[in-house]
């Protein structure tokens, strides 16, 4: 971890309003207590309102805000690449939010870094996604966030039609299609559904309760057990 990143993390931990010892900070950041003492002293010397002392603990006075953070060149390229991908391949609301996020990022960048945004030579040509599918991506993402049970008709690769009622857990993008990762009530197991093969997807108005055995993490473990570790 870069020292600048470590200092940022220390400030974030202390902004919680809880008294934290150097030992606890050192454990979280995987450095020595001596390093924490030095970092705290450096932060205090720059005006960060940290109170406390060695052997007692540290706490930050309320009302402190971090100054705007600057991005490295690689971070700018990564942000631009991700935003352009979302604009081309994501949901309608998702794409709009990505464009707005890029504007906000550019506003806080110095001129030199702002120029790097325009100079980033990574592009994501639009895919053949209809507006209906892109709107569906947004609805599914909201259902995942709200833990809403959804139902829909589904046509599999063999043309067989079924009605499904599922607990939406995540969205996976495969480069050409989006799939809904879910817990299927009919199959009592994890299932993936291509969004472009669903019809009439609607929220039932019911919520599912989180359960470890039906979580996205459990789904990923099952998937890796069958196909090996994924990226």
Does the pLDDT at position 226 exceed 90? no
* Predicted pLDDT at 22: 92
Does the pLDDT at position 17 exceed 80? no
pLDDT range class, residue 66, cuts 50, 70, 90 = low
Q: What is the mean pLDDT of residues 104-133?
A: 83
* Predicted pLDDT at 49: 87
Which of the pair, 203 or 72, is modelled with greater confidence?
203
- Polymer length of the chain: 231
pLDDT range class, residue 62, cuts 50, 70, 90 = confident
CB 162 within 8 A of CB 152: no
Reported pTM = 0.68
Q: What is the mean pLDDT of residues 119-134?
A: 88
Q: What is the mean pLDDT of residues 74-97?
A: 92
* Predicted pLDDT at 45: 87
* Predicted pLDDT at 93: 94
CB 137 within 8 A of CB 171: yes
For residues 74 and 58, what is the distance between their CA atoms, to the nearest angstrom? 34
Beta strands in 78-226 (DSSP E): 148-155, 161-173, 178-184, 189-194, 198-207
- Average pLDDT over the chain, rounded to an integer: 89
CB 155 within 8 A of CB 100: no
pLDDT range class, residue 168, cuts 50, 70, 90 = very high
For residues 147 and 141, what is the distance between their CA atoms, to the nearest angstrom? 10
Q: Which residues have C-beta within 8 Å of that of residue 130, sequence separation ≥ 6?
A: none
CB 171 within 8 A of CB 179: yes
Element (H, E) at 139: helix 131-146
Closest CA to 171 of 91, 227, 52: 91
Which of the pair, 152 or 67, is modelled with greater confidence?
152
pLDDT range class, residue 4, cuts 50, 70, 90 = confident
pLDDT range class, residue 70, cuts 50, 70, 90 = low
pLDDT range class, residue 64, cuts 50, 70, 90 = low
Q: What is the mean pLDDT of residues 81-93?
A: 93
* Predicted pLDDT at 231: 52
Give residue 109's region: left, alpha or beta (phi > 0; psi -120 to 50): beta
β partners of residue 155: 161
């Amino acid at each position: 971890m870069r020292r600048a990143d470590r200092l940022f993390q220390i400030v974030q931990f202390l902004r919680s309003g809880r008294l934290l010892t150097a030992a606890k900070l050192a454990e979280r950041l995987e450095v020595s207590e001596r390093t924490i003492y030095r970092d705290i002293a450096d932060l205090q010397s720059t005006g960060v309102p940290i109170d406390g002392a060695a052997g007692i603990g540290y706490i930050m006075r309320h009302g402190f805000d971090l100054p705007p953070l600057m991005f490295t060149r690689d971070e700018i390229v990564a942000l631009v690449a991700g935003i352009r991908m979302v604009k081309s391949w994501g949901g309608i609301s998702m794409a709009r939010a990505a464009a707005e996020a890029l504007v906000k990022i550019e506003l806080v960048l110095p001129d030199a870094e702002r120029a790097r945004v325009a100079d980033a030579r990574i592009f994501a040509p639009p895919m053949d996604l209809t507006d209906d599918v892109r709107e569906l991506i947004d609805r599914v993402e909201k259902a995942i966030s709200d833990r809403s049970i959804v139902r829909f008709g589904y046509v599999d690769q063999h043309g067989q039609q079924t009605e499904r009622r599922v607990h939406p857990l995540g969205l996976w993008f495969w480069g050409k299609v989006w799939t809904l990762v879910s817990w299927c009530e009919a199959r009592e197991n994890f299932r993936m559904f291509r969004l472009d093969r669903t019809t009439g997807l609607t929220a039932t108005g019911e919520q599912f309760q989180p359960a470890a055995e039906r979580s996205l993490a459990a789904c990923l473990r099952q998937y890796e057990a069958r196909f090996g570790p994924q990226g």
